[in-house]
Structure 1
């Protein structure tokens, strides 16, 4: 008989991850835990992936004690219990450290670009929503490029009916997909405010909003699947 393969050892989890596991066993989600410690949910995930969370062990310990011994289950109450045991990082001078956030890449001249690949597309291209919202706030214009299977388009490549005034706005890929651009500074593009309203109507799903516009205007078939999306902004002339 061939020798049995040894099972790989279970991944080591730090104390914060173990405490988070216990809270999840008690019925709380990672998002709930994030609310309790007043942090972003992505940080809780980093307890597992990046070995973070040591600073939250005292707070999580107090919260678990409250859940198991006092029977407290309300997230707001648990957050008030955790609050005295969580502190923000400070700089050497004692001031509160800045928290890095994702920047909305719009320059003072109004130009900005945001891209979403296959993974981001699956979650609605949420990373593009702040870019569109900021462009709408500034009264900017925008254009976008989509990539999908050639068979998903209604019109043939380069058709002026598909995107009037856009030349060389088509890129054909070896995997039988095609990128097509809609709008440009030369043609005036689209009102960012209009696109922002469409995104809001789609519940924040940028992919769905753009897909709906392309279907409504007769450019793609309803069952076409967008695999990549790019948004570009600029000040109107």
Structure 2
């Protein structure tokens, strides 16, 4: 099977390409570095030639209100090019709970992307994943200084990027779901506690202060970022991942 991976040189996309190729598929990475521009459409027709499935894991360059225009334009261009190329399955990677946090610009933008895909001309699948282990350090950096880290007690259920890749590849090589598949890590943590676990593993002695006004995830209430009972749970535990990547 030939699959084109949009965003195929990034953290998730490059691993998706490798895993697809290892399974015997023809996986074509498409990104600005390969001559593909989602906003102008340049290079899309060539990248999608002969592809049965398109896997879109491309990200907006910003997380603010401009991300709405990015996903609106990029998704429209990709769906149109896919229809011209005869693509039979469009897959996107999204976020668990994305449609329940309208106060975050980026989450509204990803919700728009999902809506455009549903309304598009091609059978589709949406893989919604929880936050990645690999992004925890960045989340801590948003609200930290040399003396302390401040984090809300927002409940999260993070997962390893490698497990996200497995989920995307599984869906992309199957029949279109025309629905959403939720994937998540095996454990739920309050974000402030996740910060303490992370700093301890890094031998970082700074305290983590619980502050429900701190950072982007302060806008999230309840369990919207955790997976429901029908989710597919990954195997990798956060403490094991920390140990293995240290």
TM-score > 0.5 by shorter chain: no
TM-score range, shorter chain: under 0.3
TM-score by length of 2: 0.21
Name the one with the larger strand percent: 2
Larger radius of gyration: 1
